[in-house]
Amino acid sequence: MNRNYLELLMLCAVAICVGCNSAASDTTDVNAAIANDVDAVLSATNASERQAAADALARRGPAAEQAVSRVLRETDDDAVKLRMIDSLVTMRGFEGVPKILDSLDDASPAVRRHADHALQDLLCIRVRYDAEASAQDRAAAAQRYRAYWSSIVEKDMVEVVKDPEEAKEIFRKRVSYVRKGRNHSDE
């Protein structure tokens, strides 16, 4: 794949909207609710309680991104991991990408496969990753994802915006450049 094509791919999904779905005006209450949800997920004694708490946390939206990443890192429940990965994708946030990258090394093939699909969606790239492959082959593919993510971070191509209309406009412009075959500096 040539470098220009990779740079064009990087433009496709780097504008994110932080807090666009957050309706609560009192961040103290929101933060307390998020903390309660995290505690409920991590301390639940049965799977249905864990799943219900994970669903509640996931519905908190972008304000819960760090908490969702924490649960993804700390839980041993595969169903909860899958829900947390889905939540991070839905949020379209990039703080969780390192935790999703770490999930490529999870003991569960289902979690690894889900992480692969999530990264394809978030990063607009497809890496030949096989969740059932040997640890060595999976590590090589995971390294390709990590290198791609590092290149995005190094180029400061992750742009955080708070206004949903601004995020839509940035995305619209970038899609237009990709379709025209021009790069981001042609503005």
pLDDT mean over 111-134: 91
pLDDT: which is higher, 40 or 94: 40
| Strand residues in 40-138 grouped as ranges (E) | none
Residue 4 pLDDT level (bands cut at 50, 70, 90): very low
Q: CB of 74 within 8 A of CB of 84?
A: no
Q: Using N-to-C axis directions, what is the helix angle for 164-180 and 3-10, rounded to 10°?
A: 160
CA angle 65, 30, 72 (to 5 degrees): 30
Residue 33 pLDDT exceeds 80: yes
Instruction: Return the half-sphere exposure (C-beta side, CA atoms, 13 A cut-off) of residue 159.
Output: 17
What whole-number distance in Å separates Cα of residue 45 and Cα of residue 90? 27
Domain ranges across the chain? 3-18+27-182
User: Residue 175 has what pLDDT?
Assistant: 58
What whole-number distance in Å separates Cα of residue 102 and Cα of residue 171? 27
Quick one: the chain helix, strand, coil %, rounded to 5?
70, 5, 25
- List pLDDT tens digits, range 155-172: 766 665 556 676 667 666
Tokens of 52: 């219900």
What whole-number distance in Å separates Cα of residue 175 and Cα of residue 185? 14
% of the chain with per-residue pLDDT over 70: 68
- List pLDDT tens digits, range 57-84: 999 888 889 999 999 999 999 999 999 9
User: Residue 159 has what pLDDT?
Assistant: 60
Residue 185 pLDDT exceeds 90: no
% of the chain with per-residue pLDDT over 90: 48
CATH number given to 3-18+27-182: 1.25.10
Tokens of 77: 């429940």
Residue 115 pLDDT exceeds 50: yes
The per-residue pLDDT of the chain, averaged, comes to 79
